[in-house]
Structure 1
Amino acid sequence: MEKNSHIQCTVQQCKHNNACCNLCSLDVIRIGTHEQNPTMAECTDCNSFELRSNCCG
C-alpha cells in the first residue's frame, strides 16, 4: 500500500490508512465539518474516509 508521509492517520478502519506506519495512502484528503460554526477539532471530519472492506465484519 502506498503511504504519504505528509498525512498522518490513526483510523485503522479507513481503507486509505497504511496501518503499519499510521499514514494515509492518498495524495490529498478532504476535510469538512458537521457543525455550522466549528470551534473545536472534534467538529471537523475527514471527508475522504472510506470504510475498509475487511473491517469490522
Structure 2
Amino acid sequence: MDKCHANKSIRCSVQQCKNHCSDADYCALESIQVGTHEMNPTEKKCTDCESFQMG
C-alpha cells in the first residue's frame, strides 16, 4: 500500500495485514468484517477479523 489513509474509527496493531497503516495503528479499510471460528463464542480470542489480508 503506497499511501495509507488511516480510518481513525478502526484501530489495529496487526502489522502483517495488508490494510494496516504502518505509520499508525489504524486500518485503511472503510469497514471490516468480524466473525468467529466457534459455535458459541464466549471470549475475545474466539473472534476473528475476516477482513485480514496477508501483507
TM-score over 0.5 for the alignment?
yes
Q: In the alignment, what sits opposite 1:9? A: 12
Q: Secondary structure at the match of 1:17?
A: coil
Q: Which residue in the other structure is 2:37 paired with?
A: 34
The letter of the residue matching 2:53 is E
Task: State the AA in 1 paired with 2:19.
Answer: H
Moved >4 Å (runs of 4+): none
CA RMSD across the alignment: 0.5
Same amino acid, percent of matched pairs: 46
**1:18 is paired with a residue of what secondary structure?**
coil
Structure 2, unpaired ranges of 5+: none
Find the aligned partners of 1:10 and 1:36 in 2 and give their Cα distance: 26
CA distance in 1, matches of 2:44, 2:23: 25
Residues 39-50 of structure 1: pairs in structure 2 closer than 5 A = 39-50=42-53
Alignment coverage as a number of residue pairs: 52
Q: Unmatched 5+ residue regions in structure 1?
A: 53-57
